[in-house]
Amino acid sequence: MEAMVQEWTDGRLDDLSSKVDRGFVQVDQRFDHVDQRFAQVDQRFDRVEAEIRGVRIEMKDEFKAIRGEISGVRGEIGEVRKEINGVQRALVFGFIAMSGAIITGFAAIASQV
């Protein structure tokens, strides 16, 4: 069992220390790389957010335009309704006049007989 126990000499401790230092340097380099990747992801998110803001503004403007067009169509429909009502009124007056003329004609025929 004593053969397995090794003494920690200054040289071995220095080797261990340098290996640990190299390991931390590698970890630091990897974290630097990860930090760069996160910075790239942040830039992408910023671009996406800017695009979304632009799309939202564009959609808002387009919806306003559509509402304006719908309002115009409603006004035109109102005008068409007025015209249809005018035509309907003329037809009713025409029907009343024709009915009166037919009744007058039948009355005239009946009075001659």
Q: Is the pTM of this model over 0.75?
A: no
H/E segment holding residue 89? helix 10-112
pLDDT in tens, 11-67: 888 888 889 988 888 998 999 999 999 999 999 999 999 999 999 999 999 999 999
pLDDT tens-place string over residues 63-108? 999 999 999 999 999 999 999 999 999 999 999 999 999 999 999 9
Tokens, residue 45: 């998110």
Scan for tokens 């919806």, then name that residue.
63
SS3 38: helix
